[in-house]
Amino acid sequence: MPVTIHDVAQRAQVSASTVSRALSASHLVRGTTRDRVLAAAKELGYQPNPAARSLITGRTGNIGIVVPDLNNPFYTGVLRGVQARARQSGYAVFFADGEEDPAAEEALVRAMARQVDGVVVCAPFASDAQLRSLAAVTSLTLLNRRLRDIPAALMDSAGGMRQVVDHLAALGHHRCAYLNGPNNAWSNRERRRGLRAAAARAQLSVVEFGPFEPKFEGGVQAADLALADGVTAIIAYNDLMALGVLSRLADRGVAVPQEMSVVGFDNLLYAAVCAPPLTTVAMPMEAGGRAAVDLLLSGIDGAGDGAGSHRELTTNLIVRATTAAARSHSVSDDPRPMAGRGSHG
């Protein structure tokens, strides 16, 4: 039923191979015949059969992406970037949600392997060994995970954390809490690493909690712990957790930012529009997705040098309304009578 290359060939009075060449390696056919072929193809609405093409070329024109949790807007951001960049190069994208399960991640990549030219694995939970074994079965690019000999797009979480620390120190904070995300998340390890280094330099003492689920509920849970410790600032692993913290603090009548500063990571839409607007580190989500596809494609089309190429993306602290000067550290002389909910700014 669908129109094949032979239909076009017949209409253009040439052989199928000429049609094929006219459509791909156009410099191999004479100008006039090429025009004839193109016209015929257009009139018939010819669309090459990707299965047949891929069978012989060994390439599919598809890439895959697997993310840990589609409910987190961070990943939908990189998804947008991935899809836009892929489309720009004529690639279609397979998508799958690993649901934060290493085994599922691996299974999904393996299932995709036969029909894609490569897959970008986003902030994977899988182990190094699992990832390496996956790299053997298809071309791999990582996002926010560093592994020797596997290309990756990396967001500078440590640098973002340094900015956070400088910001808090400048506001006179001396003791803050860090709410850990998942331990096996590279981003969390980077943030912690950056935090420790910068905090030591800035003479900021840090107490860590967690790990917690990197979600709203995790933040709610963590808030009470941090509050009990008497810190003046809370740095959450990501915005979702920070929003949970904000919500819990409001419930407990702790005024933000007067009594407690809060900062998150990611710069989700909701960080900008919640009350009060959240101070956070902007992660380049779409740019990260595009960069990952860049690397993947250059590893596929290109000379294949890219085995060890990593791309770093910068991050920026965005100061909004949840950070302020540390309260003159007299926790005791503040009676704090009010139990109301945090007011809108």
Partner DNA sequence: CCGGCGCTTGCAAACGTTTGTGGCAGAGAG
Partner DNA sequence: CTCTCTGCCACAAACGTTTGCAAGCGCCGG
Residues that bind its own copies (CB under 8 A): 47-52, 54-55, 60, 62, 70-71, 73, 76-77, 79-80, 83-84, 87, 92-97, 111-115, 216, 243-244, 247, 250-251, 269-270, 273-276, 341-342, 344-345
Strands 279-282 and 316-318: antiparallel
Which of the choices DNA, its own copies, none does residue 30 contact, using the CB cut-off of 5 to 8 A by kind? DNA
Closest to 207 measured CA to CA, from 236, 184, 229: 229
Which of the choices its own copies, DNA, none does residue 228 contact, using the CB cut-off of 5 to 8 A by kind? none
5 to each of 1, 10, 18, 50, how far by Cα in Å? 12, 9, 10, 12
CA 110 – CA 304 distance, rounded (Å)? 21
Which of the choices DNA, its own copies, none does residue 33 contact, using the CB cut-off of 5 to 8 A by kind? DNA
Q: Which DSSP symbol is given to 173?
A: -
Q: Are 340 and 187 in contact (CB under 8 A)?
A: no
Buried residues in 82-118 as b, exposed as e (16+ CB within 10 A): bbebbeeeebebbebbbebebebbbebbeebbeebbb
CB of 231 to its own copies, least distance (A): 20
Among 38, 44, 48, 321, binds DNA (CB under 7 A): 48
Report which secondary-structure segment, H or E, holds 17: helix 16-23
Report which secondary-structure segment, H or E, holds 265: strand 261-266
59 vs 329, beta carbon nearer its own copies: 59
Which of the choices DNA, its own copies, none does residue 148 contact, using the CB cut-off of 5 to 8 A by kind? none
55 vs 272, beta carbon nearer DNA: 55
- Restricted to residues 5-24, the positions that interact with DNA (CB under 7 A) are 5-6, 13-18, 20-21, 23-24
Measure the N-to-C terminal CA separation of the chain; round to a whole number of Å. Answer: 64
Which of the choices DNA, its own copies, none does residue 23 contact, using the CB cut-off of 5 to 8 A by kind? DNA
Region near DNA per CB under 7 A, out of 27-35, 78-86, 245-253, 312-320:
27-35
CB of 298 to DNA, least distance (A): 20
Q: Which two tokens stand for residue 344?
A: 């809108």
23 vs 255, beta carbon nearer DNA: 23
Q: Which two tokens stand for residue 230?
A: 């008497």
Q: What is the Cα 133 distance to its own chain's centre?
A: 22
20 vs 83, beta carbon nearer DNA: 20
Among 11, 29, 93, 138, binds DNA (CB under 7 A): 29
Task: By CB under 7 A, name the binding residues for DNA.
Answer: 2, 4-6, 13-18, 20-21, 23-25, 28-34, 46, 48-49, 52-53, 55-57
